[in-house]
Amino acid sequence: MKKKIMDLIIYTLLFIGAIIMCFPFYYMVVTSLKESAYIFTVPPQMIPKPATFENYKTVWVEADFKLYFLNSLKITLPAVLLNVFLSSLTAYGFARFKFPGKELWFSVLIATLAVPGLLLIIPQFDMIRKVPFFMDNPLTIVLTSGIGGIAFNAFFLRGFFESIPRELEEAAELDGCGIFKTYWHIAMPLARPALATLVIMSFLGVWDDYFWPSLILRDKRDWTLPIGILGFRAQHGVQWHLLFAGTIIAILPVLIIYFMFQKYFVKAVAEGGLKI
């Protein structure tokens, strides 16, 4: 009996907590379904009446969110592929090969993690803007995001590669596989769970990045979703119903990936202590 009451109290607490954590999202969805006349009513409507999808249509077509969405996609997909490919190559190299100063190089790589990326942005920007080709070019973001975070990813992946039994790779080599083939056909498939985690992390990082792309992509036609959201807010002020339709479009892919791959998320955070 006493345990039952305890359980009930805990459930109540957990529910209250869940409501606090999720209500802002619910309210964002509700607002995005409201007509403009209803966004500042007191008391605020908790269920939109009348509910309308018109806002989504408006931002998608008239406010260029379709363009921003495609731009985000065009940058994120190649950047993530490049990022995972380069990170795994780096990690594999450190996991499987002996070369002079290996551990020293690895600690130098890890040391770069101590410098917050935000602080390097001024010199980085100054270098990029001296080459006109790189300014206003989405390719720049693909490349910089593709390279970004390799140090951490390599640190994360190295352990996985080292845990693969060496015999498998030796057998492949005996069968005539070169180094690259062994890496591609043996090591990569075996590291799949870790790679899935990496893909998700990398995706979130590139998809949500605002600061750096906003400095490089000044032309409205190149804007990604985060830039588009703040650009829309700057231009149209507090048209929250439209703005939130836009933000929901922006977080939808992230939510879908999150719910599909949530077990990888939990693993990544719990084991690697990743901040994502």
Partner 1 sequence: MSLYKWNINPRIPNEFVGLSNYVKLFHDDKFYTALINTLKYVIVTVPGQMIIGLLIAVLLTRGLKGQTFFRLLYYLPVITSWVVVSVLFQYLFATRGGLVNYLLKDLLHLINRDIRWLAQENTAMIPIYVLGIWKGIGWSMLIFLAGLQGIPKQLYEAARIDGANGWMLLRKITIPMLRPVIAFQTVMLTIGGFNVFLSVYVITGGGPRNSTQVLSSYMFKEAFDYFHFGYGAAIAVIFFLIVFTIAQIQRKLFKREIY
By CB under 8 A, name the one of 50, 115, 166, 237 that touches partner 1: 115
Cβ neighbours, 10 Å, residue 231: 16
Q: Choose the binding region for partner 1 from 81-89, 102-110, 170-178, 248-256 (rule: CB under 8 A).
A: 248-256
By CB under 8 A, residue 35 contacts partner 1: no
- Compute the 3-state secondary structure of the chain and give helix, strand, coil in percent, each to the nearest 5: 80, 0, 20
Q: Choose the binding region for partner 1 from 4-12, 89-97, 158-166, 169-177 (rule: CB under 8 A).
A: 4-12
Q: Which of residues 252-271 bind partner 1 (CB under 8 A)?
A: 254-255, 258-259, 262, 265-266, 269-271
Q: Which of residues 53-72 bind partner 1 (CB under 8 A)?
A: none
By CB under 8 A, residue 13 contacts partner 1: yes
By CB under 8 A, residue 237 contacts partner 1: no
By CB under 8 A, residue 126 contacts partner 1: yes
Q: The tokens of 23 are what? A: 């209500």
* 122 alpha carbon, distance to own chain's centre: 23
CB of 99 to partner 1, least distance (A): 28
Segment (H or E) for 147: helix 138-147
Cβ–Cβ < 8 Å for 207, 77: no
Task: Using CB atoms within 10 Å of the CB of residue 232, give its burial: 0 to 12 exposed, 13 to 18 middle, 19+ buried.
Answer: buried
By CB under 8 A, residue 14 contacts partner 1: yes
By CB under 8 A, residue 37 contacts partner 1: no
Rounded-to-integer distance, Cα 97 and Cα 173, Å: 14
Q: How many residues bind partner 1 (CB under 8 A)?
A: 64
Kindly tell me which of 10 and 179 has the beta carbon lying closer to partner 1. 10
By CB under 8 A, name the one of 70, 111, 122, 139 that touches partner 1: 122
Q: Minimal CA–CA distance to 253: which of 73, 119, 115?
A: 73
Sequence-distant (≥ 6) Cβ neighbours of residue 154 within 8 angstroms: 87, 90, 91, 94, 109
By CB under 8 A, residue 165 contacts partner 1: no
Kindly tell me which of 19 and 168 has the beta carbon lying closer to partner 1. 19
